[in-house]
Structure 1
Amino acid sequence: MPSRFTKMHGIGNDFVIVDWREDAGRVPNAARIKAMADRHTGIGFDQLISIEPPRDPSCEFYYGIWNSDGSPSGQCGNGVRCVAAWLYRDGVIERDVPVRLESPSGPVVVRVLDESTVTVDMGEPDFTPAHIPLDHAPHATYTLHVDGEEVSFGAVSMGNPHGVVFVDDLADPRIERLGPLLTNHPIFPQGANIGFVQRTTADQLKLRVHERGSGWTRACGTGACAAAAVSQALGLAAPVVAVALPGGELTIEWHGPGHTLWMTGPAAFVFEGEV
């Protein structure tokens, strides 16, 4: 049976949004999702996102997330902005009104600022190793020996696991090799999104992210949140930072422990289709 979809992106991190509010439970198997994600023979996307009725009665809608390899994901920062923009265009949420949505990892609050800009309360960053999950005792930073190199990183959960590696130059060719190795390292029992951060000033970061289940992407919203949170926890960043990714820029605001983290950025419609 054909399904309608909307192609969207948040600063180059691209998605297929499917409306399952009247037909929840239609999740394709992993092989079908992988085929749809193929950029030569399918639609092409980093993640598939469904919009469904909420499981949590305190939320307005639920959204499911699947990576391009068919594996499920707990959260997607660029994706939730696209979900909010989609719901706004559909007329079911209003501008400048906070709306509580349910993700696979729990509730988030979104607010549509205009037709193409959304701010999201991503919750409080969680540095507890067991919650990331990370197979290590808690530390501010961690060190691994990877392919003959010693690599130091910070780790945090933003609803999904992140490792954050600080580098002097994002053009360093070692990054291409280290990204996949760290994503799949046994210290992360469920894999991890690995962000490589170049700090330019206290309020400006540059970032590339190798995502579990999707590989290198043009942008990663939760990765930008993780980079800002780890940077601030280590005293390397201001409470409000601009994070520049290959696809564009996000603004991240976090005032430390006891506060939730806010992410603001664009959401863009590309085309409608049927598969």
Structure 2
Amino acid sequence: MGVTAAPAGRPGDAAPLTFAKLHGLGNSYLFVYADRDPADPAALSVRLSDPRRGVGADGMIWILPSAVADFRMRVFNADGSEAAMCGNGIRCLGKYVYDRGRTARTELTVETPAGIRRLWLHTAGGRVVSVTADMGRAAVCAAQTLTLPDGETITLRRVSVGNPHAVLFRASMPDAALLRLGTALQTHPAFPGGVNVELVHLSAPATLRMRVFERGSGVTSACGTGACAAVAAAVADGVCASGADITVRLDGGELTVRAEPDGTLFLTGAAEEICEGTAWV
């Protein structure tokens, strides 16, 4: 299915940009394959991610040439900020390049600002249905206590999976609490650059329930790096075992994360295409 966004002004004032919209558990991005870095990707992401004046997405991902890997990935959130890594996005990148014949291989390397990541593509009928990604090693800090502007005291673990996360273990995770905590931590002095916020609890053996407030996007249905951060924190707390497959249940569906004893994380989940089209930019 194709879609076309109308030009903002006269047709002569705009150039066509071909894109595809893909999602991982409802976490959607607009993908563009290009031979060079775009001139102003931040502004373009803000414009096209807008659901009313653009195409609508959680951000944009550019697939570019790499001198050290099969492809290079740049991720821009809906607010224009650039992310060093995106678990759902990198899985969808694997589907994009394979399904479109940009590669015939099912094992790929992708250059990201967080380092080179490996992908294993799982196919059926000649198309990618799910992807396993080597997400690198997580850096998990000791639990710390912070005081929010309203005086509430919270305990969290900082986790880096190439991008920053704050993992809070809570039995309850209603919308209001997720929005309040996620918003408050974006401007907290402990996180001068903002942070992805995950509310997590163990819902069954080897199963975590997680909800996420993503830096630059707000509440989303899923976050691949967030799922990895949640599992890494759970292993550090002794809630989950290393070397075992952990199911992470998100609003958009389920992901599988395995944290190896050395801290390396492997993320497996679906990748789906929604549409392709042309935007005038």
What is the TM-score with the length of structure 2 in the denominator? 0.88
C-alpha contact (below 8 Å) 2:135/2:264 kept by paired residues: yes
SS in 2 for 1:252: strand
* Equivalent residue letter for 1:251: T
Q: 1:172 to 1:42 in 2, by over 3 A?
A: closer
Q: In the alignment, what sits opposite 1:272?
A: 276
- How far, CA to CA, are the matches of 1:29 and 1:52 in structure 2? 13
Q: In the alignment, what sits opposite 1:106?
A: 115
Q: 1:29 to 1:250 in 2, by over 3 A?
A: closer
Higher gyration radius (CA): 2
Q: In the alignment, what sits opposite 2:54?
A: 42
- CA-CA distance at 1:25 after TM superposition: 2.0
SS in 2 for 1:8: strand
Q: In the alignment, what sits opposite 1:130?
A: none
Aligned counterpart for 1:67 among listed residues 39, 64, 77: 77
SS in 2 for 1:83: helix
Q: Deviations over 1:102-139 (max 9, x none)?
A: 01221100010122100000001123xxxxxxxxxxx5
Q: Larger % of strand: which?
A: 2
Aligned positions of 1:66-145 closer than 5 A:
66-94=76-104, 97-114=106-123, 115-127=128-140, 140-145=142-147
Aligned counterpart for 2:257 among listed residues 246, 252, 270: 252
- How far, CA to CA, are the matches of 2:41 and 2:102 in structure 1? 29
| Aligned alpha-carbon RMSD (Å) | 1.4
- CA-CA distance at 1:34 after TM superposition: 1.1
Alignment length (residue pairs): 258
Structure with more contact order per residue of length (Cα contacts < 8 Å, sep ≥ 6):
2
- How far, CA to CA, are the matches of 2:46 and 2:275 in structure 1? 20
Q: In the alignment, what sits opposite 1:31?
A: 43
C-alpha contact (below 8 Å) 2:97/2:103 kept by paired residues: yes
Q: Is there any run of 5+ residues in structure 2 with no aligned partner, and where?
A: 1-14
Q: In the alignment, what sits opposite 1:184?
A: 187
SS in 1 for 2:83: coil
- How far, CA to CA, are the matches of 1:43 and 1:100 in structure 2? 29
C-alpha contact (below 8 Å) 1:242/1:250 kept by paired residues: yes
- How far, CA to CA, are the matches of 2:192 and 2:72 in structure 1? 26
Q: Is there any run of 5+ residues in structure 1 with no aligned partner, and where?
A: 128-138
Aligned counterpart for 1:240 among listed residues 221, 238, 245: 245
Is 2:220 aligned against 1:217?
Answer: yes
